[in-house]
Amino acid sequence: MRWLLLCGVALGLGGCMGGGKPAWSYYEACDAGSFTAMVDCGKRARAVGCAEARTCSTNGDTYAAYADALAAKVRAREITDADARLKLVEFRSRLVSDQRTADYQRAAVAAAAAPVTCNRIGNTTNCY
C-alpha cells in the first residue's frame, strides 16, 4: 500500500508544479535571442496558457516575477545576458527541488498514516 502511494507521488512529480505546463517551459520555448526577448515572449505565452487552463501556479508566478526582475537588470546593464540566464536556471532548479521535497514530505505523512494490515502464518508475520 505504501509502495503504491509513493509510486503515485513519484509519477505526479513528472509534471512538477501542479497541473499544466511548468512556467519555465513557456520561456524556454521562446528562447530565440536575447534574454529580455525570451522573458517578454515567455510572459506572453504563459499568459495565454494560463488563460486557456484558467489557472496559474504560485510557483509559476514566482518564476515569472524573478525572470522579470532579471530582465530589468539586464536592461539596466547591471548584469549580463549570460548571468541572467544562469541565475534563472539556478532559480528554476531551486523551485523544482523545493516542490519535490514538499511532495515527498506529504507522501511520507500519508504513508505513515495509512492503515497497516498484518497477517500471521505460523512463525511469519507479514504487514502491508
Highest mean pLDDT among 1-5, 65-69, 103-107: 65-69
Instruction: Indicate whether 49 pLDDT > 50.
Output: yes
Number of domains in the chain: 1
Contact 67, 39 (CB under 8 A): yes
Nearest to 77 by CA among 47, 35, 31: 35
Nine cell digits for residue 92: 528554476
Entry pTM: 0.67
With cut-offs at 50, 70 and 90, classify the pLDDT of residue 57.
confident
Is 109 a domain residue?
Answer: yes
Q: Which residue has the cell 505460523?
A: 122
Where does the pLDDT of residue 43 fall: very low under 50, low under 70, confident under 90, or very high at 90 and above?
Answer: very high
Tell me if 11 is assigned to some domain. no
Range of the domain at 100: 20-127
In a domain, 15, yes or no: no
3-state secondary structure of 76: coil
The CA distances from residue 72 to 25, 59, 84, 126, in Å, are 21, 20, 10, 60
What is the pLDDT of the chain when averaged over all its residues?
82
Q: Is residue 80 part of a domain?
A: yes
